[in-house]
Amino acid sequence: MDMLDDLDFADLSPTISQMREKMVKLEHNSNRVGPAINATKTKEMRVKTAGKDKSVCCRGTELETVKEFTYLGSVVSNDGGTNQDVKGQGCVFPVQSCVSTENRTFLCGKRGTLNLVQNDRCERCAPSLALYFMMEAENSPGLVVAAGQEATATPEDVEPPVLLLGAAVTAALHPLIYVKLLIQVGHEPLPPIVGTTMFGRKVLYLPGFFSYAQYIIKVDGKMGLFRGLSPRIVSSAVSTVVRSKAKKQVALLTNVEKIEAPQSSLGKVVKETTHEMIIQCVTRVAIHPFHVMSVRCMAQFVGREVKYSGLFTCIRSILKEEGFTGFFTGLIPHVLGEVLFLWCCNLLSHFINTYAVDDSFSQAPAVRSYSKFVMGIAVTVLTSPFMLVADVMAVNNCGLAAGLPPHSPIFKSWMHCWNHLRHKGQIFRGSSFFFRRVPVTSMPIIKD
């Protein structure tokens, strides 16, 4: 059979290897959202392809090569157009209209624009036609894959607007991160206030976020709330790029297209979480140096130092005093915390969606869609000690008052830091912005 009926999705790539990558992502995404690709209805059509490269595989089966396929009653063929029509270099255009003459569709283009052949019998196809025409250099290989299951395309390159959006969000949230960091390193410049619990018991509360932020503004002005922002913006951009590249490589190296377990399968969740863990670990290693620089810039507020005043100044100071390893101080607890968060969040949401949510419940899809978000909030409480230790170690013994006695002891390792904070009852220090009680070990007696 050389024609494909009931086409749901079609795509075109300049090389066969690129189409193989797309097929990996296509099958992986279809497995995640629902039914798998129908391998028997998935075909390939080669256009001006040189050599005898092997066919693209779908679910372990080589695709059948066809000369044409049908979409909405029209035949897409490699017989249309001329050599002059396909001499463009690497431009991609969405085809929302095509020309049909005697029930045969021709896709013709010229460099820079997509010019469709016009005649008296021109017909416009549905705007939802998921077909892209990539103009190729003459004699370069091309491959059209028509698949029986529509999938969402995954961008391979990070667009500048995405980076700008990430920088904007990072800047907007920076005051929160700044105040949290100062709380984590134990800097409490404002005295506690007496408050009462819902049962009428008197307790001491440390100032919340707004009081702390007002104090910073009083000392350094409004711009003082953005101390240490530049390393975090760089970290955000690097994280976005590295994560995008890592996702692509993990998808190829781990052969995720072979995952055929049922959607509710625990094995599938474990495999997907493993892939996410690899991506997260690679990203964390790439951005941790910028995290260390940002933390030290913010921690200077405690002792009013100017040692880490800028991105390049931070790099020079760390290399001079601690060497290359100084950029990765506190990396281990940070990675452990992120890995623990990832596994707990994914496994708990899987068990809830599988065993606690009944399919007969009318709102089951909505509940399942929010389960991971809710679990993320709950698991954050368990992983916050790891983040606390990581940030404390990033500042410890680096020449800043925030990391030296008497403000803080010098720790031999992150485990030493963990045990010290746990012994002092401060292992969850900085996990909350509001209603922060004074630790019991340091709370004075309050008399009526």
- 137 φ/ψ angles, rounded to the nearest 5 degrees: -70, 150
Q: Would you identify the CATH topology of the domain 161-442? A: Mitochondrial carrier fold (1.50.40)
Mean pLDDT of 107-134: 33
CA–CA distances in Å: residue 393 to residues 20, 87, 233, 402 = 45, 58, 22, 11
Question: What average pLDDT score do residues 30-45 get?
Answer: 70
* Lowest-confidence pick of 6-10, 33-37, 83-87: 83-87
Q: Count the neighbouring beta carbons within 10 Å of the beta carbon of residue 223.
A: 9
Q: Where are the domains of the chain?
A: 9-147, 161-442
Question: CB atoms < 10 A from the CB of 110, how many?
Answer: 14
How far apart are alpha carbons 401 and 246 in whole angstroms? Answer: 38
pLDDT at 359 over 90: no
- Cα 156 from Cα 237, distance rounded (Å): 15
| Most confidently predicted of 30-44, 345-359, 414-428 | 414-428
pLDDT at 374: 85
pLDDT at position 80 is 52
Q: What are phi and psi of 105, to 5 degrees?
A: -95, 135
User: Between residues 72 and 278, which one has the greater pLDDT?
Assistant: 278
Calculate the average pLDDT of the chain: 75
pLDDT in tens, 230-263: 999 999 999 999 999 998 888 777 654 554 444 5
Q: What is the pLDDT of residue 448?
A: 41
Instruction: Give the pLDDT confidence score for residue 9 in this predicted structure.
Output: 58
Three state DSSP letters for the chain: CCCCCCCCEEEEECCHHHHHHHHHHHHHHHHHHCCCCCHHHCEEEEECCCCCCCCCEECCEECEECCEEEECCEEEECCCCCHHHHCCCCCEEECCCCEEECCEEECCCECCECCCCCCCCCCCCCCCCCCEEECCCCCCCEEEEEECCCCCCCCCCCCHHHHHHHHHHHHHHHHHHHHHHHHHCCCCCCCCEEEECCCCCEEEEECCHHHHHHHHHHHHCHHHHHCCHHHHHHHHHHHHHHHHHHHHHHHHHCCHHHCCCCCCCHHHHHHHHHHHHHHHHHHHHHHHHHHHHHHHHHHHHHHCCCCCCCHHHHHHHHHHHCCHHHHHCCHHHHHHHHHHHHHHHHHHHHHHHHHHCCCCCCCHHHHHHHHHHHHHHHHHHHHHHHHHHHHHHHHCCCCCHHHCCCCCCCCCCHHHHHHHHHHCCCCCCCCCCCCEECCHHHCCCCCC
Task: Output the pLDDT for position 116.
Answer: 34
The answer, yes or no, to whether residue 125 has pLDDT greater than 90, is: no
pLDDT in tens, 258-304: 544 445 578 888 988 999 999 999 999 999 999 999 999 999 999 99
pLDDT at 95: 35
pLDDT for position 12? 67
Q: How far is CA 229 from CA 61, 68, 315, in A?
A: 51, 55, 15
Asked whether the whole model's pTM tops 0.75, one would answer no
pLDDT given for residue 48 in this prediction = 62
Q: What is the pLDDT of residues 166-216, one digit of tens each?
A: 999 999 999 999 999 999 999 999 988 888 877 878 888 888 899 999 999
Measured distance CA(235)–CA(314) in Å, rounded: 14
Mean pLDDT confidence for 413-425? 94
